[in-house]
Amino acid sequence: MTKGPLPQAEVLLEKLRKDLEGLATEVGSAQLSAPSRRRLNDALGSAASDLQALLAKLDPIARPSAVFDPGNPRTIGFFIALALTAQPRRPLSKLQPFHGSGVYAIYYSGSFPLYSPIRNTETPIYVGQAAPHQQGAMTPVAQGTRLAARLNEHRKNIERACQSLDINDFDYRALVVQTGWETGAEDYLIRLFRPIWNSETKLVFGIGKHGDDADTRRNKRSPWDTLHPGRTWAAKSAEDAKSAAKIKTELADHFAKHPPFKRLNDVLASFVDALRQT
Q: How many C-beta neighbours within 10 Å does residue 32 have?
A: 12
For 211-222, write each residue's pLDDT tens digit.
Answer: 555 454 467 899
Dist CA 197 CA 94 (whole Å): 21
For 238-276, write each residue's pLDDT tens digit.
Answer: 799 999 999 999 999 999 999 999 999 999 898 888 888
DSSP H/E element including 147: helix 146-160
pLDDT tens, residue order, the chain (278 aa): 555 556 777 887 788 788 888 888 887 788 878 778 888 888 888 888 787 777 777 778 877 766 767 777 778 888 898 999 999 999 999 999 999 999 999 999 999 999 999 999 999 999 999 999 888 898 999 999 999 999 999 999 999 999 999 999 999 999 999 998 899 899 999 999 999 999 999 999 999 876 555 454 467 899 999 999 999 888 887 799 999 999 999 999 999 999 999 999 999 898 888 888 77
Longest dimension (CA), the chain: 75
| C-alpha 128 chain-centroid distance | 9
Question: Of 262, 257, 259, 214, nearest to 238 (Cα)?
Answer: 214
Q: What CATH class is the domain 73-259?
A: alpha beta
Please report the pLDDT score of residue 100 as a whole number. Answer: 95
DSSP H/E element including 173: strand 170-176
Q: Residues 141, 101: contact at Cβ < 8 Å?
A: no
Q: Residues 188, 207: contact at Cβ < 8 Å?
A: no
Query: Structural domain boundaries of the chain?
Result: 73-259
DSSP H/E element including 159: helix 146-160
Please report the pLDDT score of residue 214 as a whole number. Answer: 46
- b/e string for 79-94 if b means 16 or more Cβ within 10 A? bbbbebbeeebeebee
Please report the pLDDT score of residue 62 as a whole number. Answer: 77
Q: Residues 78, 85: contact at Cβ < 8 Å?
A: no
